[in-house]
Amino acid sequence: MTLERKIVLVGLMGTGKSTVAERLAGRDAAVADTDAMIEESMGRSVRQIFSQDGEERFRDAESEALAAALASHAAVVAAAGGVVVRAANRDLLVKAREEGRAIVIWLRAEVGTLAARVSGGEHRPLLDGDAVESLRALEAEREMLYREVCDAVVDTDEMSVDEVVAAVIQIAEGDRS
């Protein structure tokens, strides 16, 4: 896949950002996945960083990972669910859009759909306990923030991964023409 702009996927946990990003990039293009970047740079899992250092330290690493991902040569960025929480991160995303370096796509789904998809998610300590309740709270807190940073929304509830990939490509190609 060759596109002039990076595709940046945002959205809550369980919307399929990482899977869709890998599929979009295929064999030829690189993916920058902020969770994977953090785990690599800190040498620990997301869960370990949360429990040993606390969420704020994780969010610091996340801001660094997002900036590095946007500055990288990766064609696709899978931005973890929480990147929109900090205003500085939202500014980075909006700036990348305004400068024509990125198109930001919000993968959205109902909480019930997300809860079914995320069961057993090892790198998601925020969903320990009642995942539905936690997702509902995160959705309420973040919906406006995803909307603020995105160019387009894909409602993934009724879609297969293939269909989501096709929808994202259509948006990205439409954006180019």
Which alpha helices (DSSP H) does 43-160 contain, by range? 46-53, 55-71, 87-98, 111-118, 131-149
CA 10 to chain centre: 4
Q: What is the separation, in whole angstroms, between the first and last Cα of the chain?
A: 16
Q: Would you say 61 or 172 has its CB closer to ligand S3P?
A: 61
Q: Would you say 6 or 81 has its CB closer to ligand S3P?
A: 81
The least distance separating ligand S3P from the CB of residue 4, rounded to whole angstroms, comes to: 26
Under 8 Å between Cβ of 153 and 105: yes
The least distance separating ligand S3P from the CB of residue 77, rounded to whole angstroms, comes to: 12
C-alpha 91/C-alpha 94 separation (Å) is: 5
Looking up tokens 């690189």 gives 30
Q: Would you say 24 or 80 has its CB closer to ligand S3P?
A: 80
C-alpha 167/C-alpha 38 separation (Å) is: 28
The least distance separating ligand S3P from the CB of residue 124, rounded to whole angstroms, comes to: 4
Residue nearest to ligand S3P (CB): 81
Q: Would you say 81 or 93 has its CB closer to ligand S3P?
A: 81
Residue ranges in contact with ligand S3P by CB under 6 A: 13, 17-18, 35, 46, 80-82, 123-126
The least distance separating ligand S3P from the CB of residue 174, rounded to whole angstroms, comes to: 26
